[in-house]
Amino acid sequence: MSSPPAVAPTPPQPEGNQAIAAGLNAIAAALQQLTQALSVPRWSKTGPKGPSPHPLWYLEVLEQACTSGWQLTTEDVEQLIGVKPHCHKDETTYERGNWCFTKVGKLGGQTAWQVSKLS
């Protein structure tokens, strides 16, 4: 039984290397732009000391969580509203301002909360 003839690898063409390098440079530039865009939240405004969050930024996030049906962890809710949500004995809801947070289960080791608006 004979083995297939050995084929020598074709050396890369200089034009091919240049095209690959140009493509990689374009990808690197796009990633850098994306990183910069993601580093400043759209609800921030820039001041003399750099970006500072708008005092009501969390309302946009709560609105989005409410309309999208997101479940947030206790830690998420605490970061948004500044206090850890808790319920009184035998209750499953926590109210803060115009928002209601309802226990709906677990996300990992934390309580999961559904966000709704009070009328």
pLDDT at 21: 85
Please write the tens of the pLDDT for every residue from 59-117. 999 999 999 999 999 999 999 999 999 999 999 999 999 999 999 999 999 999 999 99
pTM for this entry: 0.57
Q: Would you kindly state where each structural domain of the chain is located, as residue ranges? A: 57-117
C-alpha 43/C-alpha 70 separation (Å) is 20
Q: At 70, list the tokens.
A: 């997101």
Q: Per the structure block, which two tokens stand in for 37?
A: 């865009």
